[in-house]
Amino acid sequence: MKYDLIIGIDPAGIGNNGIVIYSSETNSILFYNTFKTKTVLESKNFYKKHLSGIKKFFDNHKILVTVENFFLSSKQLLTNPLATPKIIGALMVLVQDVMNWDYQESEPKNKTKIENYKGNIKFTKHEQDAYKHIQYYLRKL
């Protein structure tokens, strides 16, 4: 399935979230950002605001949102391990039910199969992860 835009998200819920918007039409990155939030509600509201803006600007475009899934491992030290699954659930509802876009979750291991972006943009770690999930999807086509 061909998408005009692919939005990659590295969600945190609380902490640093990364987002990258890629245009299939121009084969270029239109937007990238890392933002820090202190609560899941703050994170959800940020995504809602920005996804609504994208919807207004790209109303007649086919859009896919790919979100990095979340797994707890014994090696992780998290102060609030429920924040990320909560924001992933909120993103699923926002994307599928509010925006009416296609949604998929990408496993964290998928980003290890993709090289870091080597262009002119200086991505943060979270933007790099979001970008890698977009590239992983594109390689599967």
Question: What digits encode the pLDDT tens for the residues 34-52?
Answer: 999 999 999 999 999 999 9
The pLDDT of residue 57 is 94
Run means of pLDDT, 10 residues per run, the chain, 141 residues = 93 93 96 96 96 95 95 60 90 98 95 91 96 95 77
The pLDDT of residue 86 is 94
Fold of 5-140: Nucleotidyltransferase; domain 5 (3.30.420)
Four-residue CA torsion sign, 134, 92, 83, 43: positive
pTM beyond 0.85, yes or no: yes
As a residue count, the chain comes to 141
The pLDDT of residue 70 is 81
